[in-house]
């Protein structure tokens, strides 16, 4: 089948609880402490769209993670309560159930840790957890588990690339097939964007952004992590500009040019970042291939 996690089959079958059989946990890792149930997913979805989770009742999770934009937005940095601006580009949260760390700096190790932080962040929703529980009538632990459960069901798949891998030779154009070869070869994209979700879940300094910032260093305090940011998945990327951790690049073509030039100088630039010497035709083909990673986005059970 195309890249649809086991959850999709469970949802279609009307299952109330998703049980991951032994050996299949790679499809959708779910912690034993928070098994997926239809009740939790539905509650999480309601909370995801609930503006009561913000100080002035104007912002919900969906304000920045818009379902119509592959669960991100189109701003360089996030927008919070009272017109406040965040520090970084809002990540797409499709397929985050496969994530090993969360936020651009990886400061959360699980979705359960991640979902509560925007509520408490004064630049985002600016609410204490006690206030969030009081406003919604949902205890903090239940709120946490429900939001994490819902986010696990936000999935992207069934793209032209997926259909091509499943044997549909016509799913990709000739230009996209050239782009795929470049992606795996000359352009070196798979050094960081690998696997079915097109991310190594690691942190790299590419020199990107108006200012590199501390990046992963803010979480680890390891000087080697200065300016290193998490590799984002490329699924749905081609239709969700702007790009980089600070939203400083406006188009996929600008991103390709950035890497073709070897990124920007930085004291701890990742050794994989180097000049690529792509031709104009190769850049066009690579951009076309990235379009083939746009698929169908679904959520819920």
For 197-238, the DSSP string reads TT--S-EE----SSS---BTHHHH--GGGBTBEEPPP-TTGG
Please say whether the dihedral angle defined by the alpha carbons of residues 199, 205, 208 and 212, taken in this order, is positive or negative: positive
Q: Tell me the CA distances in angstroms from 267 to 174, 219, 228, 271, one per residue in order.
A: 39, 19, 11, 11
Tokens of 46: 């309601």
- CA–CA dist 247, 57 (Å, integer): 26
CB 30 within 8 A of CB 18: yes
- CA–CA dist 97, 38 (Å, integer): 16
What percent of the chain has a predicted confidence (pLDDT) above 90?
84
The pLDDT tens digits for 238-270 are 999 999 999 999 999 999 999 999 999 888 899
- CA–CA dist 84, 124 (Å, integer): 7
In this predicted structure, the answer to whether residue 203 has a pLDDT above a threshold of 90 is: yes
Average pLDDT over residues 31-38: 95
CB 192 within 8 A of CB 200: yes
| Entry pTM | 0.90
Helix ranges restricted to H, the chain: 6-12, 38-48, 61-64, 111-114, 117-120, 129-136, 140-152, 160-165, 174-184, 217-220, 252-260, 280-291
CA-nearest of 129, 155, 154 to 140 is 129
Burial grade of 200 (CB within 10 A; 0-12, 13-18, 19 or more):
middle
The pLDDT tens digits for 55-75 are 999 999 999 999 999 999 999
Average pLDDT over residues 177-187: 98
In this predicted structure, the answer to whether residue 141 has a pLDDT above a threshold of 60 is: yes
In three-state form (DSSP H/G/I as H, E/B as E, the rest C), the secondary structure along 23-69 is CCCCCCCCCCCCCCEHHHHHHHHHHHCCHHHCCCCCCCHHHHCEHHH
CA-nearest of 177, 156, 178 to 168 is 177
Using the structure block, give the residue that is written with the tokens 């100088």.
265
Rg of the Cα atoms in the chain: 19
pLDDT value of residue 298: 95
| Per-residue pLDDT band at 301 (split at 50, 70, 90) | confident
| Per-residue pLDDT band at 1 (split at 50, 70, 90) | very low
| Per-residue pLDDT band at 27 (split at 50, 70, 90) | confident
Pairing of strands 229-230, 203-204: antiparallel
- CA–CA dist 156, 95 (Å, integer): 6
What structural domains does the chain harbor? Answer: 6-156 (1.10.760.10), 157-296 (1.10.760.10)
Coil, strand or helix: which one is 122?
coil
């Amino acid at each position: 089948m195309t890249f649809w996690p086991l959850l999709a089959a469970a949802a279609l079958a009307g299952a109330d609880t998703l049980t991951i059989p032994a050996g299949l946990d790679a499809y959708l890792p779910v912690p034993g402490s928070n098994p997926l149930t239809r009740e939790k997913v539905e509650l999480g979805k309601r909370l995801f769209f609930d503006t009561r989770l913000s100080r002035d009742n104007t912002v919900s999770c969906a304000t920045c993670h818009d379902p119509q934009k592959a669960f991100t937005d189109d701003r360089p940095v996030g927008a919070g309560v009272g017109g406040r601006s965040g520090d970084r580009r809002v990540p797409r949260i499709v397929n985050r159930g496969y994530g090993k760390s969360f936020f651009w700096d990886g400061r959360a190790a699980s979705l359960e840790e991640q979902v509560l932080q925007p509520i408490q962040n004064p630049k985002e929703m600016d609410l204490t957890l006690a206030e969030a529980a009081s406003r919604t009538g949902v205890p903090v632990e239940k709120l946490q588990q429900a939001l994490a459960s819902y986010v696990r069901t936000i999935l992207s798949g069934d793209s032209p690339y997926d259909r091509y891998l499943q044997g549909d030779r016509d799913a990709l154009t000739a230009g996209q097939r050239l782009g795929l070869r470049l992606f795996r070869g000359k352009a070196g994209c798979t050094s960081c964007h690998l696997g079915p979700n097109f991310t190594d879940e690691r942190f790299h300094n590419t020199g990107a952004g108006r200012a590199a910032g501390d990046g992963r260093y803010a979480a680890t305090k390891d000087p080697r992590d200065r300016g290193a940011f998490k590799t984002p998945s490329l699924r749905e990327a081609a239709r969700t500009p702007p790009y980089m951790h600070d939203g400083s690049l406006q188009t996929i073509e600008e991103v390709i040019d950035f890497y073709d030039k070897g990124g920007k100088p930085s004291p701890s630039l990742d050794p994989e970042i180097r000049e690529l010497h792509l031709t104009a035709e190769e850049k066009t083909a690579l951009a076309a291939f990235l379009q083939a990673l746009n698929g169908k986005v679904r959520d819920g059970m």
